[in-house]
Amino acid sequence: MKQTHYHTCNLCEAMCGIEIEHRGDEILSIRGDKDDPFSRGHICPKAVALQDLHNDPDRLRHPVKRTVDGWVPISWEEALDETARRLHEIRQAHGKDAVALYLGNPTAHNHGALFMLSPFTRALHTRQRYSATSADQLPHQLATWQLFGHQALFPIPDVDRTDYFLIIGGNPLASNGSIMTVPDIKGRLKAIQKRGGKVVVLDPRRTETAKVADEHHFVRPGTDVYLLLALLQVMFEELLIAPGRLDAILDGKQTLAKLVANWKPEKVADTVGLDADAIRKLARDIAAAPRAAIYSRVGLTTSAHSTLSAWLVYVLNIVTGNLDREGGVMFTKPAFDIVSLGAAGGETGSFDRYRSRVHGYPEFGGEFPVTTLADEMLTPGKGQVKAFISHAGNPVLSCPDGRKLDKALAGLDFMVSIDFYINETTRHADIILPPTGQLEHAQFDPIFQAVSVRNVVKFTGPLVDKPEGALHDWEILNGLVTRLNRLNARDRRSRLKVAAADRFVRKLGDRGLVDLGLRLGPYGTAGKVLEDLRRDGLHTLPKIAWKVLRGEKKGLTLKKLLANPHGMDLGPLVPMLPERLYTRDRRINLVPALYFRALQGLPAPRAISPDTMLMIGRRHIRSNNSWMHNSQRLVKGKGRCNAMLHPDDAARLGIEDGEALTVSSKAGTITLPAWVCEDIMPGVISVPHGWGHDREGVLLGVARRVAGESVNDVISSSNVEAVTAMAQLNGIPVKVAAAENAVPKKAVGS
Ligand SMILES: Nc1nc2c(c(=O)[nH]1)N[C@H]1C(S)=C(S)[C@@H](COP(=O)(O)OP(=O)(O)OC[C@H]3O[C@@H](n4cnc5c(=O)[nH]c(N)nc54)[C@H](O)[C@@H]3O)O[C@H]1N2
Ligand SMILES: Nc1nc2c(c(=O)[nH]1)N[C@H]1C(S)=C(S)[C@@H](COP(=O)(O)OP(=O)(O)OC[C@H]3O[C@@H](n4cnc5c(=O)[nH]c(N)nc54)[C@H](O)[C@@H]3O)O[C@H]1N2
Ligand code: SF4
Ligand SMILES: [Mo]
């Protein structure tokens, strides 16, 4: 019988509603769900490829173990027992920090896995924790923590009401938005223009987004910090600073004025690649817009000086009165409130409480930056990492110095991957634990609902019941938590406690936790208890338990949410300040000490020598980091793993369109086809990440054929950001040359 199932696509952050027609396990069609109040029928080509993922013969459906005869299937019992035993042995022999954990991007898209992270990291009790955060949004989180008191309290552009939308280092037409959940960004940008507003893009490439914008300016990679300082200088000099109602809760305005006073546009113009008049005009336009939203993303947070740049973007929003104003950048009021739940659990943020062993890099949020992961494995001595757990990540392709990491992983005593593919990273594992696929588990998005341009909430069940013998991510993690804790338990009482916790988690399940979170949220049956807790302290806990259990009639629960299979719209973003602040005094200090110090260390702007090429990345709508390349539907057509460069550079280097070129740095060299094109700033070369699938042992039939090269093989892990030591992935100085006698590696999908 033909059936219709409603789901949320979880491949990127846009949370598009999809309508799946199916007959049992057989998918007949995937379309946008027109009745989803948020995405209103919008999808991108990746949603349709969910069926390729679902049906992919290369997707693992049972645990496997590496043997001399290759991978062999093993039972879950054996896989989980052996994994826990090996990890425990290594811990006993070498200490807790001998086990490292890496969490990849899809962890954030999987509510079950998210719920188990805290028990899992507690069971591991290692300081060797890593995630894609330090190759991505760390500077945003550091800034929100420093300014607003909570690392997850992100100001989100109110795109549906703004008059002026400035995008710095983001390309939402390809990425569909990030830390800004916004299905159909193209339609929403057009709507800004239709109501007389303006979209402005600052990017070293004339991107898909730049092409639909009203204005686009090339900026040289890694120089945003200088531009932002100059914008603030102009605003202070021309008396354009107008925080409005925020003035009453701001500190540090005078300090800021002094700090930016010397950064006149003339001082930075050559370095940024934008003339002084254009910078002044930009500052005046931002200030003159009745409602402006200034937004920055990966191009800014993964390039030089990203700590300072991310902070300055928020500061610009604040001093122009656009924070917490309709049409500016606003905080969300999510039904499942990760901000208040995190705070109730004592987690608002942390930085530099301790440092990494080999390079002395600072911890952030309990994690070290990925730039030191390989060295912690390769450098002998007390505390050397001997075992590795990867969850939903592919650091060999996604972190800098991929070849070095390859070498490090190959030398470990034990590695386990929780992933359903044997890819560039997981091929090094001893055991692979594959969770259910995207359509086999329920979908709820605690993170992305909390960074959405409207307040929305949705829960969708799985398309099909999970196959016999399959486990969800949360069940795998719970299985490991229980076993690790059992091995650690010293007496019978502790063992009983472990067994009770296991029973509790399994009984509650992912749904139980969603329900609990909704009840505790601002629309929930026990909605005010977290506020009470925050005000009155821990002695209110019994009161909370009572309220939650008694379950007042009014308010949101999972049951009520399930009655809305297309999701619920909870309205536009609303002003939340000062109540929403988590700073001790509920005020905003514009210049926290960390940034004051960082600014003292900022090098003077420099002229770039004309023959240094700076490399940046590039995302494509039909690709998703490193892992959707096994769908023929997505990779077919013209190859996308190529190097875009300007005709002037191509002529100077003697490179013709389509010919092979080499990109090299101290980390390595890759050879790929040239794409000569006017859409990029002279002196800049753009190469996408997530390719390079023909490494030995990769079991991805389609992706292997497409192959491409991994740009992170030429990005050195020693090239770190000055304050946080996080990865620099954009604005990398490289040598570019015509590849003599080399045939470009075939990078097409047909
Ligand atoms: N040069 C360069 N490098 C970059 C970037 C860049 O712009 N340029 N971008 C960076 C950014 S922003 C990010 S977020 C990282 C991403 O880097 P990673 O997170 O390390 O890599 P992904 O490619 O997202 O790999 C995801 C893995 O998760 C698996 N997976 C998918 N869904 C699930 C699931 O539900 N459960 C489990 N257990 N596994 C699942 C997939 O099979 C795949 O192996 O890359 C970073 N690297
Ligand atoms: N289709 C698709 N969608 C995705 C992903 C994907 O891989 N494919 N990945 C997802 C993930 S994990 C993330 S984090 C988001 C990222 O979402 P976005 O940040 O929107 O991603 P990008 O397309 O990498 O945009 C970064 C832009 O910054 C520009 N840039 C590079 N260096 C600089 C610089 O120094 N200064 C300035 N001003 N600009 C610079 C680049 O040219 C690029 O246009 O996308 C998510 N969505
Ligand atoms: S934009 Fe595409 S990949 Fe992202 S959620 Fe929507 S359909 Fe899925
Ligand atoms: Mo990301």
**CA 746–ligand 3 middle distance (angstroms):** 28
Cα-Cα-Cα-Cα dihedral sign, residues 682, 683, 684, 685 = positive
pLDDT value at residue 609: 79
Please give the class, per CATH, of domain 613-738: mainly beta
Give the side-chain half-sphere CA count within 13 A for 511. Answer: 12
| Tokens 């938590």 sit on residue | 481
Whether pLDDT at 748 is above 60: no
The answer to whether the CB of 175 is under 6 A from ligand 2 is yes
Separation in Å, CA 679 to CA 207, 211, 551, 647: 7, 10, 58, 10
Q: With a 6 A CB cut-off, is 395 part of the ligand 1 pocket?
A: yes
Among the residue ranges 293-307, 346-360, 517-531, 565-579, the one predicted with the least confidence is: 517-531
- pLDDT digit string, tens, across residues 104-144: 999 999 999 999 999 999 999 999 999 999 999 999 999 99
Provide the 10 A C-beta neighbour count for residue 564.
Answer: 15
Cα(450)–Cα(13) distance, integer angstroms: 11
Residue 208 in contact with ligand 2 by CB distance below 6 A: no
pLDDT at 535: 72
283-292 average pLDDT score: 98
Q: Kindly state the average pLDDT of the residues 11-16.
A: 98
Give the β-pairing of 129-131 and 387-391: unpaired
pLDDT on residue 541: 61
Q: Which whole number is the average pLDDT over 533-557?
A: 69
Question: Using a 6 Å CB cutoff, which residues line ligand 3?
Answer: 9, 11-12, 14-16, 43-44, 46-47, 176, 183
Query: Is 64-126+369-449+459-485 in CATH node 3.40.50.740?
Result: yes
Q: How far apart are CA 690 and CA 680, in angstroms?
A: 21
Q: Whose CA is nearest to atom 6 of ligand 3?
A: 16
Please report, for residues 167, 360, 598, the alpha-carbon distance to residue 721 in angstroms, rounded to integers and kept in the order given. 22, 13, 11
What band does 612 get if pLDDT is binned at 50, 70 and 90? confident
Mutate which of 117, 627, 719 for ligand 1 pocket (most atoms within 8 A of beta carbon): 627
Out of 1-15, 507-521, 606-620, least confident range: 606-620
Pick the atom of ligand 3 nearest to 44's CA. Answer: 2
Q: Which of 138, 200, 219, 298 to mutate for ligand 2's pocket (most ligand atoms within 8 Å of CB)? A: 298
pLDDT at 741: 66
Q: Whose CA is nearest to atom 31 of ligand 2?
A: 299
Q: Which of 154, 173, 199, 619 has the most ligand 2 atoms within 8 A of CB, as the residue to mutate?
A: 619
* Averaged pLDDT for residues 168-182: 98
* Residue 77, C-beta contacts closer than 8 angstroms, at least 6 positions apart: none
**Residue 364: both structure tokens together:** 């952030």
CATH number of 138-334: 3.40.228.10
Average pLDDT over residues 162-178: 98
- Distance (Å, whole) CA 352 – CA 185: 37
Calculate ∠ Cα 672-676-678, nearest 5°.
145
Residue 547, pLDDT above cutoff 90: no
Q: How many CA atoms lie within 13 A of 507 on its CB side?
A: 6
pLDDT number for residue 716 = 98
Work out the percent of the chain whose per-residue pLDDT is above 90: 93
Distance, in Å, from the CA atom of 534 to the CA atom of 462, rounded to the nearest integer, reads 36
Looking at residue 534, its pLDDT comes to 73
Measure the CA–CA gap between 227 and 224, rounded to whole angstroms.
Answer: 5
With bands split at pLDDT 50, 70 and 90, how would you rate the model's confidence at 592? very high
Mean pLDDT of 423-441: 98
| Residue 101 near residue 121, CB atoms below 8 Å | yes
Q: Specify the residue for token string 């304050």.
A: 723
Given this model, what pLDDT does residue 75 score? 98
Q: Letter for the amino acid at 746?
A: K
